[in-house]
Each structure stands twice: as C-alpha cells, then as structure tokens.
Amino acid sequence: MVSSAPRLSGDAFLRSKKLTDALGACASGEEVLALVACRLEPGAEPLDAYNVSAALSRLSKLQPSGLAGDKRFASLLSVAEALLDVMDARGLANLLYALGQLRATLSDSWMARYWAASEGNLNIFNAFDLSNTIYACAKLGASPPASWMDAFWRASLAQMGQFIPQGLSNVLYACSELNQLPPAGWRERFWYVSEGKLASFTEQDFSNTIYACGQLGITPPARWMQEFWRASSLELGQFKAQGLANSLYACGLLALQPEPDWLHRFWEASEGKLHSFKEQELSNTLYACGKLGITPPAGWMRKFWRASLPKLGQFTEQNLANSLYACGLLALQPEPHWLRRYSEASEGKLDSFTPQHCANSLHAVAILQLWDCPVIGALWTKLIAAVAPPSSPERVLLAREL
C-alpha cells in the first residue's frame, strides 16, 4: 500500500510551514532540538511528518555532537517512527538519508517499520530518492530484507537512465557495503547507463565504483573498463589517498591489469600522497601490486618505505603479512630499517597471526632470503604449532624446545 502524508489546510498548514521554515533556518543543533522540545511537551501541538523531516534534515547538515545521549533526539526518533506510515515517498527517502548522514542508532523495530512503510513506495521513488535511500542503508549498516531489495532492484532498474553519476556510484558502493550482489539484468543495465556517464564522474565516483566492483567480485565489461581507464586517468591527480588505494586494491582483487597510461598517472598522483595514506591503505596498495605483478618505480618505493615505517606499529597482523608477502611476490627487498621495524611490529602481534599469515610471511622470507630477520623463528614456531599433529616429530621437538 502506498502511503500518503495527510494534507494540511488552513491554520494547521500555516503553523506547520512556519515551524518547518524555522527548523530549516536553525544555526545550531541545540536550536533545532529546542524547537522540537517545545512541541514534545504535554498539550502542545504534535510534530507532523514535514516538521520531523525538516528537523532531521537540518541536524544532518549541522552535524552536532552528543545526539546519541540526548533525550530530545531520542524522542524525535520515536515521533518519526510513529509517522512512517503516513509519510510520502520523498519524505521517507529524505528521512532515512538524514539519519544516515547522522549515523543514528536505530532499533530493529524502527527499521522494520521503515521497511514496511517504504517498500510499497519504492516504485514511485525517483532516481535521486532511490540512490539516497540505499546509500543511507549502507551508512546506517542496516541490511534491507529480501522483499525490500527485490522491490528496490525493480524500481531502480526502471529509473536507471535518470540516475546522475554520483547516484550510480553511490548505489553500487552501497550494495558492496551491504553485501548485496545486484541481479545480472540490473548489472547489465548499470554498465550500459554508467558507461555513457563516466566522463562526468568525480574522483570519488570513480574510486567508489571500482572499489565496489572489487568488494562484490564483479568484473566490469572490457568496453566499460576501457572508458573507465580513459576517464579516470584525467582525474587521478584529484583522488584522495583512500580513493587511490581503494582503486588499485580493487584491481588487485579482480585481477584487472591497469592500462600503462593509467598506471603511470597513478604513480605520479599517489607518490606525493603516500605520507597521508593510512595503514590499511599502504598495505592494500602494496598487496595489490603484488597480486598484479606490478613493480612500483624506485622513487615511489623509497617514499613508500619512509611513509609506512612510522605506521608499522599500527598495522594489523593481516596488513603486516600482506605487505611482506607482496614484497616476496615482487622480489622487492625491504630497506633494512623498515625490516627491523616490521619484525618488531610482527612480534608484538604474533598471538593474532593465523597460520595463513605465518605461511605468507615465511613465503616472502624464503623468496627474499631474509634469514637474519629476527621474527622468522617465532613465525615458524607458531606455524608448526598450529598445523602439525600433536604426535608429530616436529610438534614433539618444538614442545621440548619450549
């Protein structure tokens, strides 16, 4: 059943519009919540759907702190839940998008009511509302039920030609965050529509789209990728550090070899930003190089060693193992001081190393002949202890040594 917000008339309409305008003009989150609180008092005229949407939209733009513990905000969420059944399509889309921007914590019952109220409206959502809604789901970490997703696929397939570049990118990115693989027919239509709009993608659109492909394990058609290399190479200089790392990492996951011109621009664009790469981004980038068999230029690698050295202590055990494993795949000899710091960082996290992490690290050690790396013994000990049968000679010998 398609919901419809009740039409207001006369004085009620004017009072609602006055409050909605006032909420939209608030300069702080406190002002918004103070206006909301006045309408939450006993005997006051209740908030309507337009007021609630205006309040949350304004809060999403102001991004005030402390909302999670604010009773007025909690009450606003309760009022919004009670009004979901009478909100129109635009109101439902705007409401969830605002809550996504606020990273609000919503109960299972709240979301269940939202799914029920919005599912029947998805066929009348426009392209903008559809992309904002699924993107908000991803921001909230709220995975829609199967019936809702089925309705979403149908509605967005029909509207695909109307999606703007950011909307196309956001939908696929949201699907990857929600682990929702789009149906084959939907993907085919997505490639066709988005290929013609790649020239208008921003740097964020490019990185989000290819990253989503990597996370979902879907390889774009060859023709689409040709246009992607061409269009995105022009924007690589504007990519943020995360976007650069995510793009190459996705190529590694999909075994997509970047075109030479694109890769040349990637080295140029990323070299000057390596110092701002986070631990995960540094590890993912080098790991992608290893998976693709791409050896970075010498100058780039020197900056990589310097940029990653002070951050090795914050690398996860997987980041550590992947980084050294990539060095082995590429026959890249780590700089001595980097290797010492790597060994120290690994020793501090050995308890969390899986047998695979140990095996990958030792594989690199063997290829690179890093026999003087201090952590080798500990990695080997942990690997044998994990995989050798209790009665095996290796396990018995290890027990005696311990």
Provide the token pair at 320: 């550590």
Query: 85-114: string of b/e by CB count within 10 Å (b at 16+)?
Result: eebbbbbbbbbbbbbbbbebebeeebbebb
Report, as ranges of residue numbers, the positions in the chain whose pLDDT lies below 70: 1-10, 387-402
What distance separates the 2 farthest-apart alpha carbons in the chain? 89
- Answer for the pair 288, 323: CB distance below 8 angstroms, yes or no: no
Nearest Cα residue to 101 out of 133, 124, 77: 133
Amino acid at 243: G
Q: In angstroms, how far is the first alpha carbon of the chain from the final one? A: 69
- pLDDT of amino acid 277: 98
Q: For the chain, how many helices (H) and strands (E)? A: 21, 0
Distance CA 75, CA 87 (A): 18
SS3 178: coil
Q: Map out the domains of the chain as residue ranges.
A: 272-402
**Per-residue pLDDT tens digits for 264-281:** 999 999 999 999 999 999
Per-position DSSP letters for 281-303, written without gaps between them: HHHHHHHHHHHHT-PPPHHHHHH
The model carries a pTM of 0.90
SS3 44: coil
Distance CA 304, CA 395 (A): 39
**Per-residue pLDDT tens digits for 332-347:** 999 999 999 999 999 9
- pLDDT of amino acid 392: 56
- pLDDT of amino acid 378: 87
Residue 189: exposure state from Cβ atoms within 10 A (0-12, 13-18, ≥19): middle
- pLDDT of amino acid 334: 95
Distance CA 252, CA 341 (A): 26
Amino acid at 97: Y
- pLDDT of amino acid 264: 97
Contacts of 267 (CB under 8 A, 6+ apart): 296, 297, 300
Contacts of 9 (CB under 8 A, 6+ apart): none
